[in-house]
Structure 1
Amino acid sequence: MGGGADGWDDGSLPFWERENATPPAKPRTPPKDHDGHRDRLRERFASAGPDALADYELLELLLFRFIPRRDTKPIAKALLARFGTLEDVLNAPADLLTEVDGIGDATALDIRVVTAVNQRAFRASLRSREILSSWSAVVDYCHASMAHETREQFRILFLDRRNALIADEVQQVGTVNHTPVYPREVMGRALALSASALVLVHNHPSGDPNPSRADIEMTKTLVGVAEALGIQIHDHLIIGRNGHFSFRAQQLL
């Protein structure tokens, strides 16, 4: 006779086969439409600007593009609950992002791309400026680039005679609490780029930007070698998650 409740048993099979047969998968019901909420959020952003939105709402706007068929509000809130701040979310490693329900490998990669684009644009803006007159922008850029790294990096900003940025390079990557620095390599690269001045930067994954004794001694060594070559070291910045330490400002340089 006619089909069962699922509409798949048309009576054409013997009863012993019908009893054990697996019904075909039901057509997937399209996810709930969240267009109304998304449109309202977009309109609020367009009319009132980003300051009118909470952090989770800005994150929602971003996730709309990456996860078009899901309600992204709980995902945005879960990301902030897991990592703490919007900055921490955008700088989180991809493998940790995927630990949050709703974030797959593709979405984690998309978030990392957004972070990379932001950092690249930040760096490009520095190239058009005289570094010493844009010092807060330099510090902000270094913080955005390094504060959330899980291993120490030693970075150098190479400057020309006008103190404009020639190159920004990570010279060494170390462990969670140490990065080897080789003065010969630092100065060799500076000479190859015809740099007249340097800004040294490294991060402390622990979050505490205060220098160690080794940091102080290493800086003194680099300053001495640089002076012998006619190269000026403007500053050595140590970047922590919640702040930075300037050797110049603390009169250690």
Structure 2
Amino acid sequence: MTEKPHYLDHRDRLRARFKSGGSEALQDYELLELFLFNSIPRRDVKPIAKDLIRTFGNLSEVCAADFHRLTSVKGIGEKTALDLKLLHAASIHMGRKSLLNRPILSSWPALLDYCRTAMQFESVEQFRVLFLDRKNRLIADEVLGQGTVDRAPVYPREIVKRGLALEATAIIIAHNHPSGDPTPSHADIEMTNLVIDTAKAVGITVHDHLIIGREDIASFKMLGLM
């Protein structure tokens, strides 16, 4: 009889630990292993999972990593890289769905979690606008600017134009700092004031501007900047 590969018993033990203790019972690389079992069914994926965590830092950063950077890790082909990107996309999608048609101002922790998932590990600046109706329910969430490691093009008139098309009465704007530091820059403050003034002219309120860093989120409202 053919000897059973050694990693199959390991997979069974890991699944049993997850079943009994959930994600808290496992380290990041072990959770990643569980996912890779299905993506790479006939290999020992423990070394691959550890290499991914070592390269990118943690499970969230692995899933958010650029496709080409993922395939540069030994053992990660295009199919597996796509599977990991799908996992990240599904997380963002579920976060957005959990917010749609709900009053955003009373769902603030969920909003911050969503922004972290969607933006905290982006390698370039991304400018996102959340459009709200009269009851402050989320009606749309769109990326309206994407640029370089330290700048994303922002056009206040385009934001307002889109808001009017959606019949939004309020917005929340958010962008990430790939450097990891969410401290608002002078340019961030100037741009925010311009968006506020442009939106106010057509009856659209700007509730907040969030800057998403690697570990923290800066709120212009909480900082007294608006």
For 2:208 and 2:223, how far apart are their aligned partners in 1? 10
Residue identity in the other structure for 1:62: F
- After TM superposition, the structure 1 = structure 2 runs for residues 121-160 of structure 1, keeping only pairs within 5 Å, are 121-160=94-133
Matched, 1:75 2:48: yes
Deviation at 1:218, TM superposition (A): 0.9
Distance 2:81 2:190 in 1: 40
Equivalenced residues, count: 225
Q: Which runs of 5+ in 1 are unaligned?
A: 1-28
* Contact 1:31/1:69, CA 8 A, preserved across alignment: no
Find the partner of 1:230 among 203, 207, 219. 203
The residue aligned with 1:214 is 187
The aligned residue for residue 244 of structure 1 is 217
Preserved contact between residue 176 and residue 211 of structure 2 (Cα < 8 Å): yes
Deviation at 1:240, TM superposition (A): 1.1
Greater shift in the superposed pair: 190-199 or 132-141 = 132-141
Percent of aligned positions that are identical:
56
- Please name the residue that 1:26 is paired with: none
**Mean Cα deviation higher: 194-203 or 93-102:** 93-102
State the 1:140 CA deviation: 1.2
Q: Return the offset for 1:129.
A: 2.2
Give, in whole Å, the separation in 1 of the partners of 2:105 and 2:162: 21
Return 5+ residue gaps in structure 2 as ranges: none
Amino acid at match of 2:220: F
Asked whether the equivalents of residues 201 and 237 of structure 1 are also in contact (C-alpha less than 8 Å), the reply is yes
The structural deviation recorded for 1:128 is 4.3
4+ residue segments displaced more than 4 Å: none
Q: Shift in Å at residue 60 of structure 1?
A: 0.6
Question: Residue 174 of structure 2: which of 180, 196, 201 is its match?
Answer: 201
1:141 aligned partner, one-letter code: Y
Q: CA deviation at 1:162?
A: 0.9
Cα distance, 1:92 vs structure 2: 0.9
- Rg comparison, structure with higher value: 1
8 Å contact 1:31–1:70 — kept in the other structure? no
Determine the structure 2 residue equivalent to 1:177: 150
Provide the TM-score with structure 1 as the length reference: 0.86
C-alpha displacement of 1:34: 2.5
- What's the counterpart of residue 37 of structure 1? 10
Which fold has the larger relative contact order, with Cα–Cα distance below 8 Å and residues 6 or more apart in sequence? 2
Instruction: Look up the equivalent residue of 1:120 and give its one-letter code.
Output: H
Q: TM-score, normalised by structure 2?
A: 0.95
